[in-house]
């Protein structure tokens, strides 16, 4: 069956792995260019945005908790699911930690570990509801977000604990090796770990397979339920971690402290190029999106714009970015498919097939 007219075959072994699976490899690069332009623009035009290197880096402390949640949420979205309980999980985990510390006089460090475990348990509850009860992730995590938030409010009481030990507060505000915020170090290490986990490990490969097609993954002998469950556990732990970092940053907890996390992190993940239908996306894209939206927000606030304006701008950027992505790729979040449908479905014609 040798076919000399086909030169491709002999080169097969020589070909290096390329970005064929990620047709939007350029997406991360475009985001990066945008980030550099944005930061440069803000440095030049907004007084106080660059008060020196240390001050500039310290800005990240305001938004890195979003990044922590985004890492976990990316795992879930890659499987084709969604976790709407990230905010409630962050709030409840932080409250659990704070109550253990103030009420039961447990060491704050041990309490923090229990808080992380609590996040894992809350994530496992989400995962079990989704896999065992065959519930839509959207509905399941919406419901648990209400439940988690109510439990947090009940646990917190009228005056939630505050004034944690200084050593603990350093997680949110401390620096390492000179001016580098501890938060930034933690986020960088975790981002690297998630990159390895999701893009280079067998676990990550399975996550992506489930995200592209859980049916095909099942016929390939993957244990879908296990994989999906672990994604929600990871999301729960990362949310709890974000809640604990926020607690350390403010040296206080509130049951609703996680509420701001949800919509912003979904924005980050989608802007980072992760397909809401699962399978497609990179941690690099998400990390760049964290920095892009974070610096934008901080810059606008420093320049004196109200929160309303920055939020509006965030919405506009999200819409614009996704529209561009869909127009360029012809697929992705499904908007493009909708557009072609609106334009009128044409039956396939001879020879025009691009594939």
Partner 1 sequence: MSYAAAETAPVAAGHYQATEVTKTFGSVSVLRGVSLTLRPGRIHTMMGENGAGKSTLFKILSGLLRPTTGELRLDGAPVAFSAPHDAHQRGIYLVPQEPALMPELTVAETMFVGQLPTRAGFPRRVDWPGLRRQAQQALSSLGLAIDVGQLARHLSIAQQQQVECAKALLRGCRIILFDEPTSPLTSHEVERLFGIMRRLRDDGCTLGFISHRMDEVLDISDDISVLRDGALVDTVDRSGFDRVRLLSQMVGREMRVIPRRTASFSTGRPMLQVEGLAHAPRFHDVGFTLHEGEVLGLAGLVGAGRTEIAETIFGIRTPDAGHVRLGGDEITGLAPHAIIRRGLVYVPEDRARHGAILPMTITENITSGLLDRLRQRFGLIDRNDEDRTGAAIVTQYRVRCAGIDQPLRQLSGGNQQKVVFGKWMGLQPRVAILDEPTRGVDVGAKDEIYELIEELAKAGLAILVISSEMEELVRLCDRVLSIYEGRIVAEIEGADITPARVGQSYLSRDGLAA
Name the site residues for partner 1 (rule: CB under 8 A). Answer: 1, 3, 6, 8-9, 11-13, 15-18, 20-21, 196, 200-203, 205-206, 208-209, 212-213, 215-223, 279-280, 347-351, 353, 355
Q: Which two tokens stand for residue 222?
A: 């993957």
Q: Could you tell me the smallest distance in angstroms from the CB atom of residue 186 to partner 1?
A: 21
User: ∠ at Cα 342 (28, 318), nearest 5°?
Assistant: 30
Q: Is 334:277 a contact under the CB 8 Å cutoff?
A: yes
Question: Is the Cβ of residue 66 or residue 212 nearer to partner 1 in the bound state?
Answer: 212
User: Which sign, positive or negative, has the C-alpha torsion 266, 269, 274, 278?
Assistant: negative
Question: Is the Cβ of residue 215 or residue 256 nearer to partner 1 in the bound state?
Answer: 215
Q: Could you tell me the smallest distance in angstroms from the CB atom of residue 238 to partner 1?
A: 19
Q: Is 274:281 a contact under the CB 8 Å cutoff?
A: yes
Q: Is 126:73 a contact under the CB 8 Å cutoff?
A: no
Question: Is the Cβ of residue 218 or residue 302 nearer to partner 1 in the bound state?
Answer: 218
Q: Could you tell me the smallest distance in angstroms from the CB atom of residue 231 to partner 1?
A: 16
Please state the φ and ψ torsions of residue 180, each to the nearest 5 degrees. -80, 120
Please state the φ and ψ torsions of residue 102, each to the nearest 5 degrees. -85, -40
Dist CA 276 CA 73 (whole Å) = 11
Dist CA 82 CA 268 (whole Å) = 14
Question: Is the Cβ of residue 203 or residue 250 nearer to partner 1 in the bound state?
Answer: 203
Q: Could you tell me the smallest distance in angstroms from the CB atom of residue 204 to partner 1?
A: 9
Dist CA 59 CA 280 (whole Å) = 30
Segment holding 335, helix H or strand E:
helix 335-343
User: ∠ at Cα 78 (74, 36), nearest 5°?
Assistant: 50
Q: Could you tell me the smallest distance in angstroms from the CB atom of residue 202 to partner 1?
A: 4
Question: Is the Cβ of residue 208 or residue 233 nearer to partner 1 in the bound state?
Answer: 208
Question: Is the Cβ of residue 162 or residue 337 nearer to partner 1 in the bound state?
Answer: 337
Q: Could you tell me the smallest distance in angstroms from the CB atom of residue 335 to partner 1?
A: 17
Question: Is the Cβ of residue 45 or residue 201 nearer to partner 1 in the bound state?
Answer: 201
Question: Long-range CB contacts (< 8 A, 24+ apart) of 217-223?
Answer: none
Q: Could you tell me the smallest distance in angstroms from the CB atom of residue 255 to partner 1?
A: 37
Pairing of strands 180-181, 175-176: antiparallel
Angle between helices 202-212 and 224-250 (to 10 degrees): 110
Question: Is the Cβ of residue 8 or residue 52 nearer to partner 1 in the bound state?
Answer: 8
Q: Could you tell me the smallest distance in angstroms from the CB atom of residue 121 to partner 1?
A: 24
Residues, the chain: 355
């Amino acid at each position: 069956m040798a076919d000399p007219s086909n030169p491709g075959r002999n080169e097969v072994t020589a070909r290096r792995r390329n970005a064929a699976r990620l047709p939007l490899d350029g997406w991360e690069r475009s985001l990066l260019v945008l980030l550099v332009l944005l930061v440069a623009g803000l440095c030049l035009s907004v007084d106080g945005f660059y008060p020196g290197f240390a001050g500039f880096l310290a800005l990240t402390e305001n938004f890195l908790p979003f990044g922590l949640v985004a890492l976990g949420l990316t795992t879930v979205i890659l499987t084709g699911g969604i976790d709407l309980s990230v905010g409630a999980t962050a709030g409840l985990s932080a409250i659990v930690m704070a109550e253990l510390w103030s009420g039961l006089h447990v060491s704050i460090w041990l309490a923090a570990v229990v808080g992380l475990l609590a996040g894992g348990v809350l994530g496992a509850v989400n995962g079990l509801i989704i896999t065992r009860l065959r519930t839509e992730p959207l509905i399941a995590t919406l419901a648990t977000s209400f439940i988690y938030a109510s439990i947090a409010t009940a646990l917190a009481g009228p005056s939630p604990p505050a004034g944690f030990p200084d050593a603990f507060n350093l997680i949110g505000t401390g620096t390492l090796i000179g001016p580098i915020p501890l938060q930034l170090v933690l986020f960088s290490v975790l981002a690297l770990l998630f990159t390895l986990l999701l893009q280079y490990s067998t676990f990550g490969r399975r996550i992506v397979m489930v995200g592209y097609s859980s049916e095909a993954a099942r016929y390939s002998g993957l244990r879908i339920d296990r994989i999906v469950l672990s994604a929600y556990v990871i999301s729960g732990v990362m949310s709890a971690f974000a809640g604990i970092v926020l607690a350390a940053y403010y040296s206080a907890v509130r049951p609703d402290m996680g509420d701001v996390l949800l919509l912003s992190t979904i924005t980050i993940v989608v802007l980072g190029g992760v397909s809401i239908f699962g399978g497609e996306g990179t941690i690099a894209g998400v990390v760049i999106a964290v920095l892009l939206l974070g610096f934008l927000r901080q810059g606008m606030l420093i320049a004196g714009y109200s929160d309303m304006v920055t939020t509006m701008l965030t919405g506009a950027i999200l819409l614009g970015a996704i529209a561009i992505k869909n127009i360029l790729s012809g697929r992705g979040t499904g908007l493009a498919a909708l557009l072609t449908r609106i334009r009128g479905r044409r039956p396939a014609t001879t020879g025009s097939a691009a594939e």
